[in-house]
């Protein structure tokens, strides 16, 4: 129990402990150099004192006996689990020599820099990668890059900026802000916001809005707490969200209930869109999705006729057969209803004060590293030349192209991997066996993490121990406010922060001098764009909203000339308008208008297969106590969600002789995994819902078991190489076919 005389350190959470997309203000209580407790900070506008289960369990994470606290080198074969403790100097020397050799022989591009989605990783990993000279920044195995990037790309193409549901998070007085009004309706599209803070959005803001009058519309194949409280629940067949969006556009346009003034003044390509959506009558959408036409009409009318209203969407949108197209259609919903950048609508979200964690733009990179690197980045980046949207939207590798290249060595071989914050085999990658085989052959692999996991065990040659959030300094600019994380305790053992590791490594590997002496200098330089620094923010309680009239403050920025570089009113697109007809998509060789694409594998597309595998497998159900593949070793959390559970409709389960709590196999053409059955009407009859990222840290970590990842990781049932035309979306994460049957004897 923390006593009131413990020292209290204010900070901002961003993973490595809480496992999250961060943003919560916290109080870290410290006694004799040890964290005694972590609580929410009541003065922080983001979470207003609250904290999720993961944040509250950080103490168990920091002091977990399995944490890796010293650099390790592998001494046995890969996967044998034989490690030897080494010094940082030895680790750095080894890495420096190996990576320099590889660069000399094969070029910097033959080293890939792999991240997941935890911690403050985007800044430090690109910093190191550019210093080394590689263009290959990747989320390995994330098929169709199905995690937010497709949605971001669609928003960028449509209105030149990104938007999020407005729950007053851009205003320091939050719900008491005069300029804010709650959304009349919130559409919760393919997400369970109660399970976390997806994409930098604190899920319970939705509940805060509901208490202030917001009503709900939920689009989700399953019944949830939110659908229970919704005026309309569109329970569609998994994978058909694109049809739902097009059907809603059809209703809103044909019934003339869109915002005519806004469309006339600020939108481009309305007549083309109008023509396109004629192909998607509610009746046709009913046939595709199973959602009754009248229910679809009702949802469309409620959304369009009640302004302002907002849409909060989730990752399944990205994973649709044409992820960036489905995202585009949804973007158009808030566009034609004039719900963009208005209070209580979908507000434009910009990095606070214009600060970025690290320069991602070509201009800034040219300044730092020279034009040659920037040119090479685009020439050699894996997948960039196959997909113009991948090339032009952001500096990522296309993961489906990468796996092929790792296997074939064409057009050039991949020789080494720097893996930081990513459990590729145990959670991130589709078809992890295929990635295992391909990555085993790499010459050299470094993993930076806090615990051993299936990936580090199977692949790493060197393991570098990273710090938790309480053991490091960092900063956060993902939307708002601008925040800093304060070091509350000395790192355990020899751990270092990701920024420290990457700065030190960059100094050894960079081809041009690195000017920063320490991490604080990096942070302060980034923060200087917001006219502040680490100490100032820390003194203010770790957060600050942008000043009045800053372009990163809401609302109506398109009217005030705050979105475009030329200072003119309008949107930051080629036409200056919201592009319903996306000229960017056209330029990238894509259909400028949205359309529906059926999943590759479904009861409709593959009728014969559906006879053998009659159920639809939808993966990635979020647990409120885990972040992706993290936290399975944290006792307080594991107790609340002890085993991987497949949800299956109660009546279907009965017909299959499956009872609640039985161990079952979920099987498809790729393989089978073991789950405990939960027979519940939560799932409609045709759907099986399975969580992702399951491995058992308490079991044997060496190969071939690798913490039982092959038995329980649902990604063993997914595959690579199904990417959509844009390079985004398309895999069977959310909509494949499967069957479920009892494990003999009902025992594990």
Partner 1 sequence: MAKNGLLIQYDWCTGCHACEVACKQEHNFPVGMCGIKVNELVSKAPDKVYVDYTVAVTRFCDLCAERVKGKDVPACVKHCQATCIKYGPLAALVKEQEKQPRTSLFAPK
- Contacting residues toward partner 1, per CB under 8 A: 1, 4, 37-40, 42, 49-53, 56-57, 59, 194-195, 203-204, 207-208, 211, 223-225, 227-228, 233, 624-625, 635-637, 639-640, 650, 680-682
C-beta of residue 382 within 8 angstroms of C-beta of residue 138: yes
Is the Cβ of residue 55 or residue 359 nearer to partner 1 in the bound state? 55
Is the Cβ of residue 233 or residue 350 nearer to partner 1 in the bound state? 233
- For residue 296, the minimal CB distance to partner 1 (Å) is 17
Query: Helix 282-289 and helix 293-305: axis angle, to 10°?
Result: 120
Is the Cβ of residue 299 or residue 706 nearer to partner 1 in the bound state? 299
Is the Cβ of residue 39 or residue 407 nearer to partner 1 in the bound state? 39
Q: In the chain, helix, strand, coil percent, each to 5?
A: 35, 15, 45
Burial 132-143 (b: 16+ CB within 10 A, else e): bbbbbbbbbbbb
Is the Cβ of residue 227 or residue 709 nearer to partner 1 in the bound state? 227
- For residue 295, the minimal CB distance to partner 1 (Å) is 12
- For residue 32, the minimal CB distance to partner 1 (Å) is 17
C-beta of residue 332 within 8 angstroms of C-beta of residue 248: no
Is the Cβ of residue 49 or residue 551 nearer to partner 1 in the bound state? 49
- For residue 603, the minimal CB distance to partner 1 (Å) is 22
C-beta of residue 558 within 8 angstroms of C-beta of residue 570: yes
Residue by residue, DSSP assigns 486-552 as ---SPPSTT-B-HHHHHHHHHHHH-SS----SSHHHHHHHHHHTTT--HHHHHHTTSEEPPPTT-TT
- For residue 4, the minimal CB distance to partner 1 (Å) is 6
Is the Cβ of residue 661 or residue 681 nearer to partner 1 in the bound state? 681
What is residue 706's DSSP assignment? T
Is the Cβ of residue 213 or residue 547 nearer to partner 1 in the bound state? 213
CA angle, residues 375, 377, 378, in degrees to nearest 5: 70
Tell me how far apart the alpha carbons of residues 439 and 434 are, in angstroms, rounded to a whole number: 9
Q: 560: which 2 tokens?
A: 């005030």
Cite the DSSP H helix spans in 135-280: 149-159, 205-211, 225-228, 241-254, 260-266, 270-277
- For residue 113, the minimal CB distance to partner 1 (Å) is 34
- In the numeric block, the tokens 């050299």 are attached to 444
Is the Cβ of residue 18 or residue 373 nearer to partner 1 in the bound state? 18
Pairing of strands 671-679, 687-690: unpaired
Measure Cα distances from 602 to 244, 653, 725 in Å. Answer: 17, 20, 19
C-beta of residue 537 within 8 angstroms of C-beta of residue 543: yes
- For residue 31, the minimal CB distance to partner 1 (Å) is 14
What is residue 289's DSSP assignment? H
- For residue 177, the minimal CB distance to partner 1 (Å) is 18
- For residue 635, the minimal CB distance to partner 1 (Å) is 5
């Amino acid at each position: 129990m923390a006593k009131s005389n413990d020292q209290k350190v204010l900070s901002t959470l961003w993973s490595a402990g809480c496992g999250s997309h961060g943003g919560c203000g916290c109080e870290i209580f410290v006694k004799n150099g040890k964290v005694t407790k972590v609580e929410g900070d009541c003065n922080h506008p983001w979470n207003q004192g609250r904290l999720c289960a993961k944040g509250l369990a950080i103490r168990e994470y920091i002091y977990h006996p399995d944490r890796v606290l010293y650099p390790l080198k592998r001494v046995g074969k890969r996967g044998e689990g034989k490690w030897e403790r080494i010094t940082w100097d030895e680790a750095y020397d080894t890495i420096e020599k190996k990576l320099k050799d590889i660069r000399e022989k094969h070029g910097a591009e033959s080293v890939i820099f792999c991240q997941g989605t935890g911690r403050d990783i985007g800044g430090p990993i690109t910093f190191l990668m550019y210093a080394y000279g590689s263009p290959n920044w990747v989320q390995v195995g994330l098929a169709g890059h199905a995690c937010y990037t497709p949605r971001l790309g669609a928003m960028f193409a449509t209105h030149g900026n990104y938007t999020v549901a407005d729950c007053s998070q851009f205003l320091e007085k939050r719900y008491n802000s005069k300029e804010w009004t709650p959304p009349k309706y919130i559409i919760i599209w393919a997400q369970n916001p109660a399970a976390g803070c997806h994409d930098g959005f604190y899920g319970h803001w939705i509940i805060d809005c509901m208490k202030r009058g917001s009503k709900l519309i939920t689009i989700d194949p399953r019944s949830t707490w939110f659908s229970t409280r919704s005026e309309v629940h569109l329970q569609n067949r998994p994978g058909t969200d694109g049809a739902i969006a097009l059907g809603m556009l059809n209703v809103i346009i044909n019934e003339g209930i869109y915002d005519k003034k806004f469309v006339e003044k600020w939108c481009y390509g309305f007549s083309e869109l109008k023509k396109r959506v004629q192909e998607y009558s509610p009746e046709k959408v009913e046939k595709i999705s199973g959602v009754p036409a009248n229910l679809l009409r009702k949802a469309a009318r409620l959304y369009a006729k009640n302004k302002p209203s907002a849409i909060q969407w989730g990752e399944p949108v990205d994973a649709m057969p044409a992820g960036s197209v489905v995202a585009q259609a949804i973007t158009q919903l808030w566009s034609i209803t004039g719900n963009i950048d208005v209070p209580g609508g979908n507000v434009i979200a910009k990095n606070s004060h214009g600060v970025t964690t690290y320069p991602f733009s070509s201009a800034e990179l040219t300044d730092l590293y020279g034009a040659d690197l920037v040119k090479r980045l685009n020439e050699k980046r894996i997948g960039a030349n196959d997909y113009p949207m991948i090339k032009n939207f952001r500096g990522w590798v296309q993961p489906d192209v990468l796996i092929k290249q790792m296997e074939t060595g064409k057009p050039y071989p991949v020789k080494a991997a720097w893996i930081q914050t990513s459990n590729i085999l145990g959670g991130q990658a589709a078809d992890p066996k295929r990635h295992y085989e391909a990555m085993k052959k790499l010459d050299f692999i470094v993993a930076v993490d806090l615990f051993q996991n299936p990936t580090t065990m199977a692949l790493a040659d060197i393991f570098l121990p990273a710090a938790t959030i309480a053991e490091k300094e960092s900063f956060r600019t993902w939307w708002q406010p601008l925040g800093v994380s304060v070091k509350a305790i000395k790192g355990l053992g020899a751990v270092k922060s990701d920024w420290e590791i990457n700065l030190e490594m960059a100094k050894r590997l960079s081809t041009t001098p690195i000017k920063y002496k320490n991490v604080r200098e990096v942070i302060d330089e980034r923060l200087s764009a917001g006219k502040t620094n680490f100490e100032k923010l820390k003194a203010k309680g770790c957060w600050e909203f942008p000043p009045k009239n800053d372009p990163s403050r809401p609302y109506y920025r398109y009217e005030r000339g705050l979105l475009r570089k030329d200072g003119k009113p309008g949107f930051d697109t080629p036409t200056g308008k919201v592009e319903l007809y996306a000229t960017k998509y056209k330029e990238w060789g894509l259909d400028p208008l949205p359309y529906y694409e059926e999943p590759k594998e479904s009861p409709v597309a593959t009728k014969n297969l559906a006879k053998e595998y009659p159920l639809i497998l939808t993966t990635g159900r979020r647990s409120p106590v885990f972040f992706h593949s993290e936290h399975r070793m944290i006792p307080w959390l594991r107790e609340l969600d002890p085993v991987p559970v497949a949800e299956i409709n109660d009546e279907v389960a009965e017909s299959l002789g499956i009872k609640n709590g039985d161990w079952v196999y979920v099987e498809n053409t790729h393989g089978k995994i073991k789950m405990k059955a939960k027979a519940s009407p939560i799932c409609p009859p045709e759907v099986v819902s399975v969580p992702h990222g399951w491995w058992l840290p308490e079991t044997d970590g060496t190969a071939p078991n690798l913490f039982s990842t092959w038995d329980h990781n649902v990604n063993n049932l997914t595959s690579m190489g199904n990417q959509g035309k844009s390079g985004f979306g398309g895999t069977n994460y959310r909509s494949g076919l499967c069957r479920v049957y009892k494990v003999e004897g009902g025992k594990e």
